[in-house]
Structure 1
Amino acid sequence: MNKIKKLIYELHSFIILWLTQSFSTLGSSMTNFALIIWSYQQQGSALKTSMLSICSYAPYVIISIFAGALSDKWNKKATMLVCDSFAAVCTVSVLILLLFGKLQIWHLYCLNALNGLMNSIQQPSADVTISLLTPKKHYQKASGMRAFSNSLVNVMTPVISTALLALSNIQTIIAFDLFTFVIAFLSLLFFVKIPKVISTENAKAESVLESAKSGIRYLRHNRGILDLILFLAAINFTASVFEAALPAMVLSKSSGSESALGIVNAVSGLAMVGGSILVSLIPSPKSRVRIICNSLLLAMSTENFFLAFGKSVPVWCIGAFLGWIAIPFMNANMDVLFRNHIPLNMQGRVYSARNTLQFFTIPIGYFLGGFLVDKVFEPFMASQSAASIFVTLFGQGKGAGAAFLFLWLGFIGLITCLIFRKDPHIWRLEK
């Protein structure tokens, strides 16, 4: 009990921020989940639905490299409060348009782009804040707790969203989202004290462009960190193509539905919850790089193949569990490596450069995933006869093309992991 009390005392500010921000993330994730279903039902197009994520990530990637420089100069709490408030205004706009029956898909594209812009500024501030609130000896525990909450959000989002859509409507979900924002906003404003980062005079005098260059320069001179980021960029490309294709397959196949999509997403979340609990409890590993490589190899070599050949929800769920159980181990160990290697007064700039490099493949992957499903794989499968081997393997009708695409993603992800596993620069981070 004394150890637990001491831990809570040392992490009390982090715990308040972690709990309230996780609650707010749940509300935002539920709104996003509901809007994806709304979009696919309205448009019936994987490409148009994936544009929601493209519009979120494109400005995030473009602006991120400069946002970290601003983050290092600005007050962390004020930055997070302003960005959260702006996101709430966008959510209110969606609610008003829905209530008056005026919501169009292009409205969501514009609002997602604005949200992506603000997220690019908020994210480096939030990352640095975690380092400021957490003693170095608790980095792995804090990373595990964050992975646990993210996993719990992944479990609860589809379950609660699907239930509320069945019992009520999308407006109820958005109202809940706004309630979670108020809780997180007030908690950060009144109950979390964020220490200031001590900056050198040179850092204060740097222009935004010079600060952005210093983040890139740091990565250029630290090849292990850079190559690890590029590894994640390659994985994010495959994962975003996957995310664009998943709703198109699960919502379209005869064995799929909104509930099926919710179940598959919930199982993914449950797997991450289990992994997060384990990573929070186990001692620090001898080789963080090995954990990262093995976790991604397991994820890439399982779920895509189960989704490609599976024809029922239970089989998809097995794939989802295997694909996500090790991801918290990857996230936690990656997070600790970054926080241990990057100086605190450089983290905002370096994290922003990381965000641009690590996430620039996501909008490309979402666009390509939607395009390939709508224009290549679905037409190809539609042209196959009932006796075709492709129909035998991937099924017939809408959704079969997306299943065929998952087979390709499985091989691409597997090859990516094997290539980066041999990178000597990444392994030097162990020293």
Structure 2
Amino acid sequence: MKDNEQSVPWRRNVTLFLTGQTVSLFGSMVVQYAVMWWVTLETRSGLAVALYAVAAFLPQGLVSLFGGVLADRMNRRVLVMIADACIAAATLVLAMLMANGVTDLWIVLLAVAVRSVGAGVQTPAVQAIIPQIVPAEQLMRVNGIFQTISSAMALLAPAAAGAIYAAVGIVPVFFLDVVTAVAGIGLLALVAVPTLERAAGAGASSYRQDLVEGMRYIRANTVVRWLLIVYTIIFLLTVAPSFVTPLMVARTFGSEEWMLAVLEIAFSLGMLLGGVLMSTWLANRGRVGLILVAVYGFGAVTVGLGLSTNLWVFYGFMFVLGLLVPPFSTPFMTLIQETVEATMHGRVFSYVSIVMALATPVGMVVFGPLADVVSVEALLIAAGLATVVVMAISTRLPSGRAAVAASRAPAPEPSAAETSS
């Protein structure tokens, strides 16, 4: 079956998919913020925050190797539903334990790690579904809409997490996640996602052969290879240091819950505005050009965070940091979806997930313990400057020059048939 052959109109299919994923994502985000704050406020330790980052991302990176292969070997909708159900089950167990007074840090981190395993299976499949159900001409716009909705949820999630956490503690947050996961699974069950012809006959090759084939594909594709290099730079030098910004707030400005909530809200407001821009004004701009502007902006803003001596100026820089996320992530995902053939999407996105999941804990293994030795401000300044320097070098690599050259091709315009459907 071809990728976009569906028994229902694609707009209805996409609406159901985005709605279900948004509901599920909201619950997961609420848990993410609440647990991160709980670890930060309970321990005040950079090492503990680093351990949280490792638990949250390392298992996802390891499992993504197999998650991407699974996404190319079976129906992706079914795979996402199974993964979401397992994540919800782990969350429910943690809720029951903490409700009965079991609050050891290692137990919380173990549950976070189990959730990360589920994300390692779910994330490549979700990204691979989008080009299956969205016409090629609409990919950038739909990705921008998804980013906007996700940003709106990211805006609501810290507010909800802060309100629930401050009022009744962390346990009710976990129950909320279970409810949203069930709702998300129910909506996803209504989405028509075809099983690829290759997936139907996947038994002919081994998992190892599929993994090797995916790596060879990435090495042979200059643009994809360069994109993964850029992705690694960002997660090592921008995302990883961002995990210690709540620690900077707690140490420098105060440890009240509202301060951490406003920090996330400022970031999410920026993401929301950036998502709106990506789904409208920036939808047909050059993909690589947007990525370059965003990455250099990340470096400059990270330096600004480190130089901030006023809490509200700090929030302002977090807003700008969030504003730059959609102009980076949306064209990045769109380029992958446009460049990679459908039967390879799962495996390529698994390597994207691996970079995301491994680069963050690797970075935090460095930044977390260092935050107990030197100031968070100094770490942010160093990370921002390093981002600019390393990115400048990457654009001069042969793969970087090829990616920039490829970006000069005009973006695809929606056809009359698609815009009227």
Q: TM-score, normalised by structure 2?
A: 0.90
Which one has the largest radius of gyration? 1
The alignment status of 1:372 with 2:370, answered yes or no, reads yes
Helix, strand or coil at the partner of 1:360 = helix
Tell which deviates more after alignment, 250-259 or 40-49. 250-259
Go from structure 1 to structure 2 and tell me whether the alpha carbon gap of 1:275 and 1:254 turns closer, same or farther (over 3 Å shift): closer
Helix, strand or coil at the partner of 1:101 = coil
Go from structure 1 to structure 2 and tell me whether the alpha carbon gap of 1:256 and 1:98 turns closer, same or farther (over 3 Å shift): closer
Go from structure 1 to structure 2 and tell me whether the alpha carbon gap of 1:405 and 1:283 turns closer, same or farther (over 3 Å shift): closer
The alignment status of 1:138 with 2:138, answered yes or no, reads yes
RMSD: 1.9
User: What letter corresponds to residue 424 of structure 1 in structure 2?
Assistant: R
Q: In 2, Cα distance between the equivalents of 1:209 and 1:21? A: 30
1:77, distance to aligned residue in structure 2 (A): 2.1
- 1:236 matched to which residue of 2? 235
- 1:177 matched to which residue of 2? 177
Q: In 1, Cα distance between the equivalents of 2:77 and 2:285? A: 35
Tell which deviates more after alignment, 192-201 or 86-95. 192-201
User: What letter corresponds to residue 316 of structure 2 in structure 1?
Assistant: I
Cα deviation, 1:1-60, whole Å, max 9, x if unaligned, reads: xxxxxxx94321111121121122111111121111222222221211221221121122
1:42-121 matches, within 5 Å, as: 42-121=42-121
User: What letter corresponds to residue 49 of structure 1 in structure 2?
Assistant: V
Helix, strand or coil at the partner of 1:192 = coil
- 1:3 matched to which residue of 2? none
Q: In 2, Cα distance between the equivalents of 1:74 and 1:280? A: 31
Q: In 1, Cα distance between the equivalents of 2:83 and 2:315? A: 36
Q: In 2, Cα distance between the equivalents of 1:421 and 1:290? A: 11
- 1:311 matched to which residue of 2? 309
Q: Any conservation in 1 of the 2:17–2:187 contact (CA below 8 Å)?
A: yes
The alignment status of 1:414 with 2:388, answered yes or no, reads yes
The alignment status of 1:29 with 2:29, answered yes or no, reads yes
Q: Any conservation in 2 of the 1:233–1:360 contact (CA below 8 Å)?
A: no
- 1:335 matched to which residue of 2? 333
Q: Any conservation in 1 of the 2:50–2:364 contact (CA below 8 Å)?
A: yes
- 1:362 matched to which residue of 2? 360
1:200, distance to aligned residue in structure 2 (A): 8.0
Q: TM-score, normalised by structure 1?
A: 0.88
Q: In 2, Cα distance between the equivalents of 1:323 and 1:218? A: 32
Go from structure 1 to structure 2 and tell me whether the alpha carbon gap of 1:299 and 1:88 turns closer, same or farther (over 3 Å shift): same
1:256, distance to aligned residue in structure 2 (A): 5.3
1:215, distance to aligned residue in structure 2 (A): 0.5
Go from structure 1 to structure 2 and tell me whether the alpha carbon gap of 1:203 and 1:220 turns closer, same or farther (over 3 Å shift): farther
Cα deviation, 1:374-410, whole Å, max 9, x if unaligned, reads: 1x20xxxxxxxxxxxxxxxxxxxxxxx1122111112
Cα deviation, 1:392-430, whole Å, max 9, x if unaligned, reads: xxxxxxxxx112211111211221222223321322432
Aligned residues: 398
1:353, distance to aligned residue in structure 2 (A): 2.5
Q: In 2, Cα distance between the equivalents of 1:100 and 1:243? A: 33
Q: In 1, Cα distance between the equivalents of 2:368 and 2:291? A: 29
User: What letter corresponds to residue 129 of structure 1 in structure 2?
Assistant: I
Tell which deviates more after alignment, 66-75 or 140-149. 66-75
1:202, distance to aligned residue in structure 2 (A): 7.8
Q: Any stretches of 5+ residues in structure 1 without a counterpart? A: 1-7, 378-400
